[in-house]
A and B are shown apart, each in its own frame.
Chain A
Amino acid sequence: MVSAPFQVSTKRDRDIDIILFSGRMDANTSPEGENAIQSLVRSGRTKMVVNASDLSYISSSGLRVLLAGLKQARQAGGDLRLSCLQPQVRDVITMTGFDRIFTIFEQENQAVESFFS
């Protein structure tokens, strides 16, 4: 496989948690992404921004992880917003109609600022 391995990292801007996904998010790698989102949700941190600038591929398993995070975040009064989508990821999100439920931004900082406006 020539594709980059899936990686997750998190950082924080004020009280917004930014989750950076990179590589391929498929059935095998999604649990790692799910753990990152779930551990934030469990500790009550539900204002999240996903930066997908290095995410080259997302499968339905990856979308499920994002959707689960979004549903839990909104239930707790927070949100999970997406930013920096590559073409394949954007296409899948548009095709499945996820663009109707997720708030999507071009840049990470726009997504972060949107929580303060």
Chain B
Amino acid sequence: MDIPTALLTDYAKIIHVLFQLVCVLSVIAYLLSRTPTFRDIVSGKLTWKHQAFLVLVFGALSIYGTWGSIEIMGAPVNVRDLGPMVAGLLAGPVAGMGAGLVGALYRSGMGGFTVVPCCLATVIAGLFGGLLWLSSGRKFIGMGKAVLFAGGMELLHNGLVLVMAQPRSMAESLVAQICIPMVLANAGGMFIFAFIISNLAAEQKTKGERDTFHDELERKNAELAVARQIQESFLPESIPRIGGFDLAARSIPAKEVGGDFYDVIVRGPGEPFGIIIADVSGKGVPAALFMALSRTVTRANAMWHRAPLPCIRDANRMISADARYGMFVTLCYGVVDPGSRAVEYVNAGHNPPLLARADGTLSDLGTTGPALGVIGEAEYTDARESLSPGDVLIFYTDGVTEAVNTKDEEFGVGRLADVVVSSRERTARDILDAITESVALHTRGMPQFDDITLLVLKVG
């Protein structure tokens, strides 16, 4: 085939200039993609201001795509349609046609025999881009489709020139020359734009997900810290010394605190003193707040009433009145009389404390009524155990006995009883340490699910 040298040179010139244009466009596209407005648009936020921004920017791009073009037989070969196409694909027909009209207006001032089809094609490019945006559910259609659209649009552009431009013979030879370069240049430009847009969209999606996750985590951690602080501030700072008795207590909160508490109520030397252990239902801030309420109410009633029974009855009435969302607290309150060497107690639905006698026999302080906050007018009874030197009383919460190991086996009352009996001759602090060490050994490799709270009283 015999191709005239002049035509080959033209082709090379056309492709060279068009790709130069595309390079400039891609730099602009990159810079644009760093602006906050453009990010908003890509992430789907579309206001009138955003649309106006797109019309201006992509209208200007359309002008640049015309201005930087080269003239072949009086018709500029160009990437004028690219700006309106991108505006349409990004934000719909209004933005697309707006940018198209800006480009077309500029083109019309240049005249030439293809002025009508060229202006028309630029507006149509924006319109079609916008229609594609609508048809894909007000979203960018994706990279592959966008490139196909750009190529197809340039074929249409050339088709319009063929149909509308006069004289026909000039139109035909012009199209033969510029059709392929225009398709390639616009498709290439679109590829660069679409690539940047898709990247940006993906980046923003991950960032959004990461931010949501991060916020959620931060809120959760703040809540955990608040719950822990509430719980800590409502536990006694130190355990008072009581003549003739050895007392130790500890609460090890779980990551998500469960609202356990203990308390020691001292009246005066030689007077009966109270010991309390309690476990609030639920976890986190609600449990911590309910713990604060329960502890305050119980303590106030314990100061008022000498005996545990009226104290618990009144405390239950008050707590029930405030117990919403099914909140309740299991609690055991014992009053120890140093004179008569006995413990009088009410157990409101709490895990029965263990009583290990000096001789190694074991019993427990069983429940004598329902948990506080369950039934406002609940009937409670009290019970009494005599105490002798060497006897050990273990108040504990279910965080101790329900601590599970990797095989899902609970620590259980059996293991607790074994530790207590075997360590009963040591001090209260040592017995407490023996229990927590044994629980830690049992649950090795597992997170702590619940608060572990213990109060150990040894009769001296």
Interface on A for B, CB 8 Å cutoff?
Answer: 1-3, 26-27, 30, 59-61, 63-71, 95-98, 100-101
Contact A60 B348 (CB under 8 A): no
Q: How far is the CA of A61 from the CA of B258 in the complex (A)?
A: 9
Q: Which residues of B contact A60 (CB under 8 A)?
A: 258, 279-282, 328, 330, 398
Task: Answer yes or no: B351 CB below 8 A from chain A CBs.
Answer: yes
Which of A1, A67, A101 is the most central at the interface, judged by chain B CB atoms within 10 Å of its CB? A67
Q: How far is the CA of A65 from the CA of B327 in the complex (A)?
A: 9
Identity of the chain B residue whose Cβ is nearest the Cβ of A69 in the assembled complex: B326
The contact of A67 among B330, B374, B407, by CB within 8 Å, is B374
Query: With contacts A2-B408, A61-B282, A64-B326 known, is A26 near B374, CB below 8 A?
Result: no
Interface on B for A, CB 8 Å cutoff?
Answer: 256, 258, 279-283, 325-328, 330, 348-352, 367, 369-371, 374-375, 378, 398, 402, 407-408, 449-450
Can you name 24 A-B pairs with beta carbons within 8 Å?
A27-B449, A59-B402, A60-B280, A60-B281, A60-B328, A60-B330, A60-B398, A61-B282, A63-B281, A63-B328, A64-B281, A64-B282, A64-B325, A67-B326, A67-B328, A68-B326, A95-B330, A95-B351, A97-B349, A97-B367, A97-B369, A98-B349, A100-B375, A101-B375
Q: Which residues of A contact B258 (CB under 8 A)?
A: 27, 60
Q: How far is the CA of A70 from the CA of B374 in the complex (A)?
A: 10
Given contacts A96-B371, A97-B369, 12 further A-B contacts (CB under 8 A): A27-B258, A27-B450, A59-B402, A60-B258, A60-B280, A64-B326, A67-B328, A95-B349, A96-B349, A97-B348, A97-B367, A97-B371
Q: How far is the CA of A58 from the CA of B371 in the complex (A)?
A: 15
Q: Which residues of A contact B349 (CB under 8 A)?
A: 95-98
Chain A interface, >50% SS class: helix
Q: How far is the CA of A97 from the CA of B370 in the complex (A)?
A: 4
Q: Which residues of A contact B330 (CB under 8 A)?
A: 60, 95-96
Identity of the chain B residue whose Cβ is nearest the Cβ of A97 in the assembled complex: B370
Q: Which residues of A contact B449 (CB under 8 A)?
A: 26-27
Contact B378 A97 (CB under 8 A): yes
Q: How far is the CA of A24 from the CA of B407 in the complex (A)?
A: 15
Contact B371 A27 (CB under 8 A): no
Q: How far is the CA of A27 from the CA of B448 in the complex (A)?
A: 12
Q: How far is the CB of B226 from chain A (nearest CB, A)?
A: 17
Q: Which residues of B contact A96 (CB under 8 A)?
A: 328, 330, 349, 367, 370-371, 374
The contact of B367 among A27, A63, A64, A95, by CB within 8 Å, is A95
Q: How far is the CA of A70 from the CA of B430 in the complex (A)?
A: 43
Q: Which residues of B contact A26 (CB under 8 A)?
A: 449
Q: How far is the CA of A67 from the CA of B408 in the complex (A)?
A: 27
